[in-house]
Structure 1
Amino acid sequence: MPTLVKAWTDAQQRLKAAGVDSPAIDARLLLEAASGATRLDILTDPYRELSAEQAGALEGYVERRLKREPVARILGRKGFYKILLGVTRDVLVPRPDTESVVDVVLQAFPEAMSFTMLDLGVGSGAILLAVLAERPAAKGLGVDVSEEALAVARENAANLGLADRAAFLRGDWTAGLGDESFDLVVSNPPYIRSAEIETLDPEVRDHEPRLALDGGPDGLDAYRLLAPEIMRVLKPGGVFAVEIGWDQSAEVEALFKAAGGDQVRTAKDLATKDRVVTGVKNPLGSDGRTG
């Protein structure tokens, strides 16, 4: 039977030869899951042998990764911000880019502050639950059109001990929600141009729900609907933060300004690409006074 270090090396080489990004990390994650070993075990006990069952499990995982199935799909879990989320084929795998939305929110709401938040298109619950985990006085509602996605989000909330502060509702964006109901509204809507979906990496194109990717011909369909609706359900003085494609800042900012957004700006992600359009609902109307 192979040792930990040999199994890791072999898997890494196979993934690298197939052109998989980050083969060393992927091979280690798959090995840890198949063998029950930790990263420390691989370093300190590299010659531990895998059992036949463990070696078989690793082979199955590697074969799936060679077909460009994402590691998070294979393992059924993904780290996001400081939390670990379960993921299924019914939800987008949370990406590091989206952590920028959480960063913007945490800057706007101090740790002890009590506030209500709405996550439109909540998916796995990534943004909502990451914020609630960092802001113990906050409560939130996650809305999604997919009942399967909501089931994933509910289970993640329960596993994280956040079910008492997170509610979930099946709905079409803001339909049925009252005016001026939330202090914060966030969303990571579909924003890929329809014609570009087939050019995406296989991990995204073949394994992510199309509904969560397709933003229409120019990628902006969701924002046209969301901008006025987000402003409607925000309380005066409330904050919005939406993820965007790296080249959509000007268009999305314009949509929110036209809908009555104030102090609208774009925040960058860790790769210094435009990633989050954020702003507030003016608490004093449209005269620009801030008190």
Structure 2
Amino acid sequence: MHEARTYKVQLGIASTRLKSAGIDRPGREARHLMQHVCAFSAADLINRESDLMPKAETEAFFDLVERRSLGEPYEYLTGEAWFYGLRLSCSPATLIPRPDSEVAVDEALARLPLGRLSKIADLGTGTGCLLIALLKHEPRLTGVGIDLSAAAIEVAQQNVDAHGLSERAEMRAIGWRDWDGWGETDLIISNPPYIRSDVIETLDDSVRAYEPHTALDGGISGLDAYREIIALAATGMKPGAWIVFEIGFDQGAEVRSLLESAGFSSISVACDTGQRDRVVSARLP
């Protein structure tokens, strides 16, 4: 049981607990968890810091603090993440959207024809973050997000609805091998599983223990998904269509080679903010 204390005191206790667990920026995370539990804005928390925190809120808050101290990702605790300036729902059925993936959106936008109706597809959509960011940025786009996980598609559909895109986006629980829209799409974007199987167990605990392995594991070489998607795209995409992949930092040359061998042209590799290879783009002649 937690004693009755003010919001300010409980916040200090939580910050100390998170700091002792090695959490970066423990004070910030404690504040945000408290705001989440109490439905407070930052101003609310300041104005209420001298008030006693009710028992139910205290118990719920320290439950999240303890789970966070054990490594559970903040985004899964709160059920939301930010991507490309958009608030999105996320769950353990989906990968957590990360800033590095925003490079894929930038690269896709640079290749879409301006002012023209276009159709895009997001393969392995997860939260739908890539597709939603593109549709929010370009109102003349329509698109489809596909994912084998029905639970992930449920989250993606929530995000589509929340951002008012249900008229322009379709979410389907299906694999890319069974998808029949290759020849109708102007651009395909994908952040597929790309981590080598033998590396999974070496990942940070917050990733390895909580994020879905089916969205991480790219097989022995880490390239299984790229090989499959590129083979399907080479025979099914319409001429002139683009494909934009997020990749692992050390996979630029290998994915470029796969695309070249399949007959793609205009191949380029873009870096993330850390100057690591992050996105490969190519066009089907």
TM-score, structure 2 normalization: 0.92
| Other-structure match for 1:114 | 117
Q: 1:170, 1:118 → 2: CA distance?
A: 13
Q: 2:8, 2:235 → 1: CA distance?
A: 57
| Other-structure match for 1:167 | 170
The answer to whether the Cα contact below 8 Å between 2:132 and 2:160 also exists between their aligned partners in 1 is yes
The answer to whether residue 42 in structure 2 is matched with residue 69 in structure 1 is: no
The answer to whether the Cα contact below 8 Å between 2:109 and 2:134 also exists between their aligned partners in 1 is yes
Q: 1:3, 1:224 → 2: CA distance?
A: 57
Q: 2:70, 2:284 → 1: CA distance?
A: 46
Q: Deviations over 1:14-42 (max 9, x none)?
A: 11211123323322221111222222334
Q: How many residue pairs were aligned?
A: 282
5+ long unaligned stretches in structure 1: 283-291
Q: Deviations over 1:123-157 (max 9, x none)?
A: 11111111111111100011111111111111211
After superposing the two structures, state which structure 1 stretch, 144-153 or 37-46, moved more. 37-46
Q: Deviations over 1:150-206 (max 9, x none)?
A: 111112111111111011222221424155321110111101111111111111101
Q: 1:159, 1:246 → 2: CA distance?
A: 32
Give 1:89-100 correspondences, 5 Å limit: 89-100=92-103
After superposing the two structures, state which structure 1 stretch, 233-242 or 44-53, moved more. 44-53
Instruction: For residue 43 of structure 1, report the CA deviation from its aligned partner.
Output: 4.7
The answer to whether the Cα contact below 8 Å between 1:180 and 1:232 also exists between their aligned partners in 2 is no
Partner amino acid, structure 1, of 2:98: R
| Other-structure match for 1:39 | 42
Residues 108/46 of structure 1: CA separation in 2 closer, same or farther (3 Å cut):
farther
Q: 1:272, 1:251 → 2: CA distance?
A: 18
Residues 239/18 of structure 1: CA separation in 2 closer, same or farther (3 Å cut):
same
* Secondary structure at 1:235 match in 2: coil
Give 1:57-206 correspondences, 5 Å limit: 57-109=60-112, 112-206=115-209
Aligned counterpart in structure 2 of residue 223 of structure 1, from 211, 226, 230: 226
| Other-structure match for 1:289 | none
The answer to whether residue 281 in structure 2 is matched with residue 271 in structure 1 is: no
Q: What percent identity do the matched residue pairs reach?
A: 38
5+ long unaligned stretches in structure 2: none
Q: 2:21, 2:112 → 1: CA distance?
A: 45
Residues 274/5 of structure 1: CA separation in 2 closer, same or farther (3 Å cut):
farther
Q: 2:115, 2:8 → 1: CA distance?
A: 46
Residues 169/34 of structure 1: CA separation in 2 closer, same or farther (3 Å cut):
closer
Q: 1:255, 1:175 → 2: CA distance?
A: 22
TM-score, structure 1 normalization: 0.90
Partner amino acid, structure 1, of 2:100: D
